[in-house]
Structure 1
Amino acid sequence: MPVDWLSSAEILERYRITNTHGGILSHQGGSIDAFRFTHDVLAYNNSRGLAIYDKTEIIKVKYGERGIRAWTSYGNIINAKKIIYCNGYESVNIIKDKFVKLLSTYAIVGERFDGDQSEIQELLVWNTANPYIYLRTTDDNRILIGGGDEPFLDTARRDSLLNQKRIFLEKKLLKLLPAEDPRRTFRTDFAWAGTFGETKDGLPYIGKHPNFPGAYFVLGFGGNGITFSITGMEMVSYMLQGKKHPLEPYYKFRR
């Protein structure tokens, strides 16, 4: 629970969690608009020469240590020395190893709150229940809460549970708020679902795979993708130069 407001004692009293399991209070933490961040990173690198081709599907790749050849859905052919996959959960469509467990995850965000919300403006909550929940405020004075993961079967099954999970998350939020809190009139503005993945040890998969010569993978599963992407950038840079990186044994496939 990274926080930067009130004292620990005040938080425990305000949210009435003194009789529940213990937790960790920290003054270090942060949140980010991942969608905007991604577009800003792409725009920055595009201005420095990176060519970006969105909405272009790679339908076939021929792998080899001397180079790869890739075919797009538009009929274009790409020849390159190496290919780097940063395709997250879609990698399970390429790699047939059972290396990641896919989950369906859910989130809701409530309508704007007209009253003062400054006492929780910097609060980030992530509990360890199963299924877990997380909670934070937004820049436009809303509350966002998510979690309630389920094993992923298919997108239709995932989306069919959306209303059920909305009710589940609304109830969880009300339990966290004091009885007299005006935010207990919470009404959901938006609800959505997505696919999430976790590995057996919580670590990413970064590097080569024996079935794909000429390819590298940067797959930061487990909710730490942004952090692991920095490590992946460094590791792949080493590998392209023929250097060994000290983290290779820990992040390799079939470890």
Structure 2
Amino acid sequence: MTVQPGARVPTGGETDGTDEVADLFRALGRQVKVARERAGLSQKELGDRIGYAEETISSVERARRTPQPELLLAVDRLLDCGGLLASAAEDVERAKTRRRVRHPEWFRDYARLEAEAVGLCYFANQAVPGLFQTPEYARAVFTSRQPFFDEETVEERVAARMQRQELMTRWPPPTICAVVQESILRHPFGGREVQRGQLEQLLRIGLLRHVEIQVMPTASEEHAGMGGPFTLLTPKGRPQVAYLEVQHVSRLVTDPEEVRVLAAKHGSIRGQALTPRESLRLLEKMLGDL
């Protein structure tokens, strides 16, 4: 069975509250619009009076942008809303915190499984696995995305990715193995300083007892991973599943035969890559060459 984007996989978890946050922002946007129209102001006129661009007012009213507490306070004062919008400022602050650590809808099923995983195996030939990324590297990934994310969405995605990394320090931790294409590590993605920080991060992670990082050398004449990146995930007490993601299209694969084929492929990839010890030495050399 292959689960398409947006489909739900029963995990026993509770809702993450993202829909409630979106509902709050939509309600506040409508309230701002009603107050503005009641005062006979256009979006540009309101923006000029409180120091915001017309596009910002439009985006808030349509719930495309978080209604910042400062904006709500300014609208409340100018349009005499009787404290209605001002009282929502604290709710917005709490909602912003919740939203920053939430994942896009198509990724949530995988994220739920990952949070309880006892085993994770990666093959990466496009970017460093998200679980290993530094904030700077993750920010470069999301900033370079096309169609472009706005700055707020970039920061939300970075925060959510960093939160996922908490499973690296829990006890007992999951067993993690990853094979990373050498060309990824040599690519100065985000700039040399970002690259340096990411290599240092991989070295630290690679020394953890429950993590094995292997590098697939560019010079390798055999390569079982030409079909692209994938992840194997073993949830606690349940069968292994696989996760595929390319060009913003994701698939959660639960069919036992499909998962078995990918697991066998990952075994071949590990055999063709450098050993964990050789890989750490290569990472040290690359870092020294920067």
Interval of TM-score (by shorter of Structure 1 and Structure 2):
under 0.3
After TM superposition, the score normalised by the length of structure 1 is: 0.26
Structure with higher strand content = 1
After TM superposition, the score normalised by the length of structure 2 is: 0.24
Structure with higher helix content = 2
Bigger radius of gyration:
2
